[in-house]
Structure 1
Amino acid sequence: MTTNDQDELARLLSEEAWDERYSEHSGAMWSGEPNPALVAEVRGLPPGKALDAGCGEGGDAIWLAQRGWEVTGVDLSSVALDKAAAAAAPRGVQVTWQHLDPVASPLPAATYDLVTSSYVHLPEEQRRALHANLAQAVVPGGTLLLVQHHPSFAHGNDHPLAQYGLLLTPEQLADDLDPEQWEVVVCAVRERAHVHAGDHPVLDSVLRARKRVG
């Protein structure tokens, strides 16, 4: 990747750029519905403390809170968090919204029964830092759920995620975790409808892992 490419990617992933994207939409940018992978993987877990990293407009965090989880949603974009809080209010659920960068801001260690992050696509060094930060925030016996666009998302388009090589298989996500500390429970490719692709199905990489006890 050239220096110009690195600079452009940094701009695309910046707080200012995300604020601009969310501000371009007077209403919600996303559907407001929870990620199907989250629903499938979390439905059977007993509610506890949860962290949604890169929560955006709050669809996943709100769904968790409605099911009895004590949820903290964090995001780089204050505009997204404002929209998330506005979406949560009429539903009568309580979510703690925090404006922070989950790559650069340390998270409290061994605090959450569930840590989830969906569609946070970053260059390798930042991605590994993020996943390490998320992993250490999970209590022993707790769950880490990572969902990303599968590399097939790149087929036939010039989306920046494809252009800069930010799309991963579930096996690549699993490689970010220490097998001595984590038991991989689900490492799979899942199909879902994509709201910005005319509801045509796309593939996601889904990783669910359990933190070993002791």
Structure 2
Amino acid sequence: MDAKAWDERYAGTELVWSAEPNRFVAAETTDLKPGRALDLAAGEGRNSIWLAKQGWQVTAVDFSAAALAKGKLLADAQGATVDWLTADLVTWTPEAESYDLVLIAYLHLPEDEMRDVLTKAAAALAPGGTLLLIGHDLTNLTEGTGGPQDPSILHTPETVADAMPDLRITRAERVHRPVTVEGEPREAIDTLVRATRS
């Protein structure tokens, strides 16, 4: 979907996603010392807001102005300070070696565009910084539930890790996430990759 389609999806009063941070984002960042964080494809900002409340100085980037406007309202209501930036990650380049954490949660693009975003995200890390990607895994199509149904935009731990050869990969695996579908408990399968710049 393009920015206009996402704007329309986010335009309603209800949250498209939960107000709580993603479970893996919370688990994988609690051991990190807060610094500057960049949340790419931030949507309504649930992870950005949570990080800001943990002491991070957060920049949230998304191409949907409607999503970011909703995120700003949520952040203001919770007393969280986040810099909101409307930009298309395919064409936008973050400042190099400037962030202690770069987060990419559930961004799904064609392979060449995703590789380019990962390259720019890795370059944005300061020395010692951490990059965390979480997204729908390719095996979710056949073994999990929900998420995009186009295999060409789904992740595998291997393809994500291979796109960042200059980083030290500290975790690259498939993880299971409980979801509820029509009142029934199910599992979704995600790719989780954590990497650091030496």
1:100 corresponds, among 77, 84, 87, to: 87
- State the secondary structure of the residue aligned to 2:139: helix
CA RMSD after TM alignment? 1.9
In 2 relative to 1, CA 157–210 (structure 1 residues): closer, same or farther, beyond 3 Å?
closer
2:131 corresponds, among 140, 144, 153, to: 144
- State the secondary structure of the residue aligned to 1:133: helix
The amino acid of 1:16's aligned partner reads K
The count of corresponding residues between Structure 1 and Structure 2 is 197
Aligned to 1:17: 5
- State the secondary structure of the residue aligned to 2:71: helix
TM-score by length of structure 1 reads 0.86
- Per-residue CA deviation, residues 61-119 of structure 1 (Å, 9 max, x unaligned), is 01100000000100010000011001111110100010011220111111100000111
**Structure 1 gaps, min length 5:** 1-11
In 2 relative to 1, CA 195–79 (structure 1 residues): closer, same or farther, beyond 3 Å?
farther
**For residues 43-58 of structure 1, what are the structure 2 equivalents within 5 Å?**
43-58=30-45
Aligned to 1:200: 186
In 2 relative to 1, CA 168–197 (structure 1 residues): closer, same or farther, beyond 3 Å?
farther
Contact kept? 1:191, 1:204, Cα under 8 Å: yes
In 2 relative to 1, CA 139–155 (structure 1 residues): closer, same or farther, beyond 3 Å?
same
Aligned to 2:150: 163
Cα distance between partner residues in 2 of 1:194 and 1:74: 26
Residue 191 of structure 1 pairs with residue 176 of structure 2 = yes
Identity %: 38
- Per-residue CA deviation, residues 152-185 of structure 1 (Å, 9 max, x unaligned), is 222289978333521121111101011xx21111
TM-score by length of structure 2 reads 0.93
- State the secondary structure of the residue aligned to 1:64: helix
Contact kept? 2:136, 2:147, Cα under 8 Å: no
Report runs of 4+ in structure 1 exceeding 6 Å deviation: 156-160
Contact kept? 1:102, 1:133, Cα under 8 Å: no
In 2 relative to 1, CA 15–159 (structure 1 residues): closer, same or farther, beyond 3 Å?
same
- Give the structure with the larger helix fraction: 1
In 2 relative to 1, CA 195–15 (structure 1 residues): closer, same or farther, beyond 3 Å?
farther
- Give the structure with the larger strand fraction: 2
